[in-house]
Amino acid sequence: MSPRALVAAAAERLRLAGVASPEHDAAELLAHVLGTTRGRLPLLEDVAPPARATYDALVERRAAREPLQHLTGVAWFRHVELAVGPGVFVPRPETELLAGWAIDRAREAGERPVVVDLCTGSGAIAKAVADEVPDAVVHAVELDEAAYPWAVRNLTGTGVDLRQGDLATAFDDLLGTVDVVVSNPPYVPLEAWESVAVEARDHDPHLALFSGDDGLDAIRTLAVRASDLLRPGGVVGVEHADVQGESAPAVFAAQGSWEEVRDHRDLSDRPRFVTARRTLRGSRSGE
């Protein structure tokens, strides 16, 4: 049976199951089974029965809404490859914009910029910064005991200082010295449970998804901790839900340590992340 016919049949199966990107996922799964890339599938004439059986089993799991990345074991994020699977949040393409912002700000900070990634999860943002700003001193922290080993796996050999701990208390040794703080924290309101995509709701760790009744609990903590970590004039960038385009910036505006608070939209023109600059004077601690 040809790859084209296999992918077409699988894509229809995934479409009926409600998968958002059926053609892409069907092709990606077949490429994974055959050890090739989607672009090279048309060069193949036939798929042997054992490979077809393996493919059919993976398509069945994807139709049950198991994340594609869990089935392949890999997620791409900007220019880096990440190992992912059960227990760790699968990085989304939208977060690449936040990572790009952090990379640009690190480059502007001069030699040996200090960057902290709070709630690193798989290590996606930290690894991207280390990859694209080789002279940066990158630190990352993750609380979840299930996610932390994935971050260890992805950040080993990158030079990133990875620690396990709470974003609210992490990096006491860096207070007042950081140039860029970046985070993709949990931000889904508990009341929005039913609206979360099946792949995320049933397979991503809830510690990485939900953050209080309004989804802003972690962001409130971040606004305080980032103000302590950053040097005066340092910057913070935090992802949020598309319905938090006003409420997330309001957290930073009300905290008292921030100026230049502004929100940024993603490629679909939806509110996606907030950035702010640490004031040159004043802080939570009253410095």
* Residue among 179, 68, 52 at smallest CA distance from 116: 179
Phi and psi at 132, nearest 5°, equal -95, -15
Task: Measure the CA–CA gap between 117 and 14, rounded to whole angstroms.
Answer: 35
Task: Measure the CA–CA gap between 75 and 243, rounded to whole angstroms.
Answer: 26
| 286 dihedral zone (left: phi>0; alpha: psi -120 to 50; beta) | left
Cβ contacts of 163 within 8 Å, gap of 6 or more: 139, 140, 141, 170, 171
Residue 182 and residue 99 in contact, taking contact as beta carbons nearer than 8 Å? yes
Neighbours of 73 (CB within 10 A): 11
Task: Measure the CA–CA gap between 61 and 86, rounded to whole angstroms.
Answer: 14
Task: Measure the CA–CA gap between 27 and 37, rounded to whole angstroms.
Answer: 9
Neighbours of 40 (CB within 10 A): 11
> Which active-site residues does the annotation give?
89, 184-185
Instruction: Enumerate the H helices of 73-207 as residue ranges.
Output: 95-108, 124-132, 148-155, 198-203
Task: Measure the CA–CA gap between 166 and 112, rounded to whole angstroms.
Answer: 25
